[in-house]
Each structure stands twice: as structure tokens, then as C-alpha cells.
Amino acid sequence: MALRRGLGIVLAMAFCVMLGACSTGKALRVEVPSVGSSPSATATKQRTISPEEAEAWEKPFTPAQIRSLLLNTDLSGLRADGADPAEIHEYLSTCARCVIALPSHEAAGERFQVFSVSTAGDSYSFASFVVRNDAGTPRIVLAVGGSDIYLTSGSDGSLVAQEAIYEPQDPMCCPSGWSVRLFRYQDGRFIEGDTFESPVDYAEPEGEK
């Protein structure tokens, strides 16, 4: 499947959250604004989290509830290349533990939950979502897709989307670089600014042979 092109990347997520069952009634539509700019962000997937942190990240909505929401949502507005909404639905329909809760994001005094859709075996993320608590109902306010993509909090309330860039000759372990996009929260929406790309230098550090 096309979404698994970058499996095995060195920055893969170190945690996966247990999911239960949940269901929503009718299909919803993703609210997608325009897209992003970019200061660098620390990859949260490199850090092991405590059970207390994991529990806090899953409130008020659990990964099981977000999985159910996504299965009943029209994802045709999903941004970025390499993320087919139909494949996301298909994958989630057969994988009950592939929605992972990431650290929440705060902007303008409002807290948003962040989730990624990742492969079960190696936590390769191919879509990430920002969810607002709308009077007790989860609502998707930003959806991005791509190769090993994750959303993390940046400075001044910004939200950073970091995605691996693979050239045709790249092995699974080693992308050619990273694309970084910055989203600003403005007038109740996440607005995308500039996009930056940074190559990866795999040269050995000085002194190493």
C-alpha cells in the first residue's frame, strides 16, 4: 500500500494507545483552512511518556472516539500529498489501535487535542488531526497527511507539521530531508504559512570512521 512507503524511519513513535469501541451517527466533514510555515520542532515521538501523560492527552476524547469520528467523516479535504482519504478509511476499518494521542496544543487560551493515524507495527504516521472540544463533541479543525508526518507545538501558539521527504532512491530508513510547515491559529482557524525543506546530512561526525 502506498502509505507504507516510509516504514522503519528512525524517528518512529515509541508509544501506542489502547483503544476501545465508540460510534458516531452521521458523517461529518473536515474543516480545512489554507496551509503552513516553519520553525523546527522537537519530535515528540522520540520521548517515552508516562501513563499520567498518556491519560491527560486522551482527555476529553480518547483515540477510540477519534477513530470512530474519522470513520464517519468525509476526509476529502485532507491536505498534503501521499494521503488518500479512501486508504485512511480502509486502514482504520481494520486497525483498532492505529490512532495515537499526541501532546495537546494550546492557542489563544484554547486547548486542542492532536492525534495521528499510524501503522500498527512500526508507528509510521501518514495523517495527523487537530480536534476541538465543541460543547462535548469532537470536531476536526485541521487535517494533514504525508510521509511520517507529525504535528507538534511551536512558539507563540504555532503548530508545526514535520514530514519526511523520500526520493525514489531513498531506503526506508533514510529520507533525503524534512518538510516543515507552520500553522498559525487566527480567528478560530489554523492558517498555513510558509513551507521549509531541510536536507538530512548522514555524514559521520568528525573523529568517527
> What pLDDT is attached to residue 7?
34
The reported pLDDT for the residue numbered 141 is 92
Q: What is the pLDDT of residue 204?
A: 52
In what order do the strands lie in the sheet containing 137-145?
99-107, 110-118, 125-134, 137-145
pLDDT of residue 9: 33
pLDDT at residue number 173: 77
* CA-only gyration radius of the chain, Å: 17
Blockwise average pLDDT, block size 10, the chain, 209 residues: 37 33 39 37 52 88 96 78 79 93 93 93 87 95 88 90 86 83 90 80 54
159, burial (CB in 10 Å: exposed 0-12, middle 13-18, buried 19+): buried
Amino acid (one-letter) located at 139: R
Give the number of other Cβ atoms within 10 Å of residue 24's Cβ.
Answer: 15
pLDDT of residue 165: 85
What's residue 202's pLDDT?
A: 61
H/E/C letters for each residue in the chain? Answer: CHHHCCCCCCCCCCCCCCCCCCCCCCCEECCCCCECCCCCCCCHHHCCCCHHHHHHHCCCCCHHHHHHHHHCEECCCCECCCCCHHHHHHHHHHCCCCEEEEEEEEECCEEEEEEEEECCCCCCEEEEEEEEEECCEEEEEEEEECCCCEEEECHHHCEEEEEEECCCCCCCCCCCEEEEEEEEEECCEEEEEEEEEEECCCCCCCCCC
